[in-house]
Amino acid sequence: MTPSTPRLVVAAPSSGSGKTTVATGLMAAFAARGLAVSPHKVGPDYIDPGYHALATGRTGRNLDAYLCGPELVAPLFLHGARGCDIAVVEGVMGLYDGAAGEGELASTAQVAKLLGAPVVLVVDASAQSRSVAALVHGFVSWDPQVRIGGVILNKVGSARHEELLRKALDSVGVPVLGALRRARPVETPSRHLGLVPVAERRALALSAVSEMAELVSRGCDLPALEALARTAGAVPGGAAPWTPDLSPTHDDPSASAEGPRPRVAVAGGPAFTFSYAEHTELLTAAGAEVVIFDPLRDEELPEGTAGLVIGGGFPEVYAAELSANEPLRKAVAELARSGAPVAAECAGLLYLCRELDGSPMCGVLDATARMAQRLTLGYRDAVAVGDSVLAAAGARMRGHEFHRTVVEPGAGAAPAWGIRGRERRVEGFVQRGVHASYLHTHWASEPGVARRFVERCRTS
């Protein structure tokens, strides 16, 4: 891998245009041609990267300029693209849509510029013909620093429809690199937070990815798309690949990676699928032995567990099964009572409550959780209210909320975070070694979080 890894960004005028199908299918189609493909997703989405991993056989990674800062986008990209022949980056929402009220921040366009990558625009052409030229012209001319290198037309009705679309686009000067006919949608079922994760339907997901690859291979000019990817030069700014930071935490300069490797159990399986790959890499780099376990199946924590990380996912879908695993619930509660470090985000927060939709959970927190009608979604600026196993009081981090549940009360006597901005509030729980919150954070933005957690595992 070099800083000039061939790369494409797959974007669209809006959500629902078909970019996930095209991006995932393109990844799989390139892999089928013998290329080592590096898969990436713009934004905080945890689900699409699972499908990307199936398509490529490599870990799907996120590029989020809000959570990690624009300066880390290129290094994190290069880290993921090590050893690859080509990289495909799936965008988020519409090409120029980013964090609300923050201009281009966290948009697909910003990431494309930070990577110096050409953009392929996926356009839903189902209800237009000549107007497609005006649409594409607008996206091409809006920001001259964004290089739209080609268009893929989606949901094309017929050969005649395709002819009209191609003729209209001749005047724009952007090549049409594919035309996908309107057909039965690839089966990728959704529910209240988006697509059903791969971990819950692996065999069917493999079939869906295969269909996407066939659709893209049949309707797109793969050699032309690969050639476009190869026009990307060196990543701007001379960025080097990101590596896990092994330096001590800012608040504990005496911290050291020396000594025995504490075992950190990380929840996985179908109920807990939301996690950034860099988190386990950072924990390992900080000196931990990371062991994945499945709260739906395993009745005990891994032997010798010194710390526990429970990320996001869908415990509300598996509440009955999680509740039925009483031995593990008791083991988690016992570990928390011992003062061992426990970091829980969103789904993990729900699992630590007394109950979820009436089903008994671990009872670590004096709170209850239930499904709600309203979706809570958005980036957050947060500050640590007090000291915890993740952060020192006053530490600032950026995070993301994405849930359709409510926890009552929303904060404990010692809250985890104070949310800044228009909606000033406190949320989450800190008690003994437990840090539980709705906020999803990306630890690459502050590697000291993982180091602090592992040090607490050594000393608790």
Task: Kindly list the catalytic residues.
Answer: 346
CA distances from 125 to 25, 31, 131 (A): 19, 27, 9
Q: Which residues, in sequence order, are bridge partners of residue 343? A: 309, 435
Q: Residue 259: which residues within 8 A CB-CB, separation 6 or more?
A: 287, 458
Does residue 94 contact residue 67 with C-beta atoms inside 8 Å? Answer: no
Does residue 164 contact residue 129 with C-beta atoms inside 8 Å? Answer: yes
Q: Which residues, in sequence order, are bridge partners of residue 436? A: 344, 429
Phi, then psi, of 155 in degrees rounded to 5: 60, 45
Angle ∠(265,257,383) on CA atoms, nearest 5? 70
Q: Is the Cα dihedral 283, 410, 357, 365 positive or negative?
A: positive
Does residue 255 contact residue 248 with C-beta atoms inside 8 Å? Answer: yes
Q: Residue 388: which residues within 8 A CB-CB, separation 6 or more?
A: 416, 430, 435
Q: Is the peptide bond before 409 cis (omega within 30 degrees of 0)?
A: yes
Residue type for 222, please? L
